[in-house]
A and B are shown apart, each in its own frame.
Chain A
Amino acid sequence: MKPIISAKNISKKYNITHEQGGYIAMRDVLTNIAKKPFAFLKKKVGKITGRTTNEVFWALKDINFEVQKGEAIGIIGANGAGKSTLLKILTGITPPTTGEIKMHGKVASLLEVGTGFHSELTGRENIFLNGAILGMTKKEIADKFDAIVEFSGVRKFIDTPVKRYSSGMLVRLGFSVAAHMEPDILLVDEVLAVGDAEFQKKCLGKMDEVTTKGGRTILFVSHNLIAVQKLCKRCILLEEGKIKMIGETKEIISKYLEKNTNTKEINNLGADKDKEIAFTKVWVTNDNEEIIDNINVNEKFKIWLKFDVNKDINTAEISIFLKNLAGVNITFTNLSDSFNKKFLTLKKGHYTTSTLINENFLIPDDYLVGISAHIRGVRNIDLHDNIMRFTIIENGSTMAPYRSMANQLSCVFSNAKWEICPTK
């Protein structure tokens, strides 16, 4: 079958300018020329003759892939891997430096919910405006108007200027318009990061419906690995502007999470002196404080952290969170909880802390450790996601009979007590 999207040798180059942040002012450029006319001329001549070259940065390099009709494909990768650049090229917002993409059918993109909304206009007016910006015709919007309003759930306020809407209502309205586009190919960015959980679920459901029932093709860029997993069978993993892997979502996600996650002991955490708190070391031991990376399911174990406090701080919190290789968060534990406090007061100095995790709590599987020093509800001080990996080994737990599928049935042992009695 002919692919609906085929990208060949896509590369994107940016020239790096060493301006001191922000925008360039014409004034500075002109005064520079006036002050140093010869330096300017020399630079220009150098550029023309090709002697001096700009410093360049390849945001994307030789990207090749094909997508079949009706497929939902995810694009994942760390920050700066080129996900957004790729999507911007696919949507046509910015042209590639080299290469060619062919797309068969009507293409629509959703990089943001409610693009072009104007706060002075009413909900009704904004539906038309936003629809037109997303590429719908006036007739199409008018035909689907009722469905859009229904889906958004803001019918009561449809003739109120959107500046009086809550942010949740705005997102709902924006997504409703987007959900009623009928493209053959839909390009979606991190738009699900907004909105409440309930609405996110509704959106995912709608998108799923669009691919499975509508036979449409979706290209989905996201950090939300759970959403990617739900929606996409296949995934592209980007790394430093190149395609690292293309394949089954499950496989790609575990590869992505596995990457850079060593086992046993991590020493190189940066220890940034500018941060109030900076982690220096993480490791896992058994109850006897021997460093290990494989833990029997019926054994207690400890996760250790070493960190520097560079400045006295009195509202800090240190947390450890565990994820499985599917990217699902399993558990989250705070240092202050063990002291029955809301937060910690830490004086400048070096600290070591450990948390003891009970036996028969995590089911046999692979786990990733994330650590965070933060001020609750305010900001992160030092955060390392997926920093280390360890394995819980099956040695005869109650989950043993289910073996390979244990991690699909449960994340933790509930240790719940059952009772039974005969009834009539």
Chain B
Amino acid sequence: MLTIIKPKKTFNWNDFREIWQYKELLYFLTWRDIKVRYKQTAIGILWALFQPFMTMVVFTIFFGGFAKMPSDGIPYPIFVYSGLLFWQFFSASLTDVSNCLISNKGIITKVYFPRIILPISSTVTKFVDFFIASTILVGMMIYYQYTPNLIGLLIIPLLLLITFMASVGGGLFLASINVKYRDVRYVLPFFISMMMFITPVIYPASIVGKYSWLLALNPMTGVIKASRAALLGNAPINWELLAISGIACLILLLVGFYFFKKTERYFADIV
């Protein structure tokens, strides 16, 4: 085995092979995050169910009940939950990926490994949360007697992929600047909660009327609309919108990845 150390280029195809070599570390970091997360809370793994469920209940009472928010003829609880599920996956991954370099400072400055493993492991952890939380959706679909069509089920992985690209793409970019500018992480939660209101999570996109194309600029719009269309069948899937979201997220991922690789070599020096 020969190791060669020399000045780093921004990009190298070997980097992908290296990620594969470090797959066990990726596994252990993910395992650590999941383990620690559920060790620190009293109710353990139930927390992953409790949190989205309570959010759904509160939103249903206030937005669905008091504010009488329209929901395209779907019962409000299941309407808002289907949106929340993807939204929480997106916002939690984005937050975690943005902070992953700083929260793992201790190992970045002491050991070498491909840094890209950290954001990947952060997202994988959120995938686990997503699957746990989605059991509630399954329960609600049974309760409200919704049967998803076959395309609906097949499209879920695609929606997850788009969400993944959006959160990791944005997260990689934010993680890189977070290392240098430490105030970024204080702005981020505010920014994310603002974003939820320009995403049709608690309201249907149709509410905005003829300006709904504006919402389409937000890639999560396409994902959430498509998930409702597929699972609840309230409207046909808007493939065009989904394609725009997909391409936008892919570009975001590539830009984020490029930026991350470009700044990667300085992480250990400035983190």
Contact = CB atoms under 8 A, between A and B. Distances in A.
A106 B7 CA distance: 20
A254 to B, nearest CB: 32
A134 B110 CA distance: 10
Interface in B1-43: 1-8, 24-25, 27-29, 31-32, 35-36, 39-40
Contacts of A109: 110-112
Interface residues of A, number: 45
B174 to A, nearest CB: 11
A265 to B, nearest CB: 42
B1 A106 contact: yes
A94 B268 contact: yes
Interface stretch (A113-121, A147-155, A337-345): A113-121
B5 A89 contact: yes
B183 A95 contact: no
A119 B28 CA distance: 15
A259 B4 CA distance: 35
Interface residues of B, number: 37
A25 B181 contact: yes
A121 B32 contact: yes
Given A23-B182, A24-B182, A96 B6 contact: yes
B269 A133 contact: no
A289 B1 CA distance: 65
A100 B4 contact: yes
Interface string B89-122: 0000000000000000011111111000000000
Contacts of B183: 25-27
Contacts, number: 113
Contact of A128 (B3, B28, B36, B181): B28
Interface string B184-197: 10010000000000
Interface string A304-325: 0000000000000000000000
Interface in A4-44: 14, 23-27, 29
Interface string B110-136: 111100000000000000000000000
A111 B110 contact: yes
A219 B239 CA distance: 59
B262 interface: no
Nearest to A92: B112
Contacts of B6: 95-96, 99-101
B173 to A, nearest CB: 13
A368 B173 CA distance: 54
A115 B110 CA distance: 7
Interface in A82-109: 88-107, 109
Given A93-B111, A102-B3, A26 B181 contact: yes
Contact of A98 (B4, B7, B107, B109): B7
A138 interface: yes
Most A CB within 10 A of own CB, among B1, B110, B182: B110
B107 A116 contact: yes
B223 to A, nearest CB: 29
Interface of B: 1-8, 24-25, 27-29, 31-32, 35-36, 39-40, 106-113, 177, 180-184, 187, 265, 268-269
> Which 4 pairs between the two chains have the least Cβ-Cβ distance?
A26-B181, A92-B112, A132-B28, A95-B8
Given A26-B184, A97-B7, A120-B35, 10 more contacts: A24-B180, A104-B1, A105-B1, A109-B110, A109-B111, A111-B110, A111-B111, A115-B111, A121-B39, A132-B27
17 contacts: A25-B183, A26-B187, A92-B3, A92-B5, A92-B112, A104-B1, A104-B2, A104-B3, A111-B111, A120-B36, A121-B35, A125-B32, A129-B31, A132-B28, A133-B25, A133-B28, A135-B25
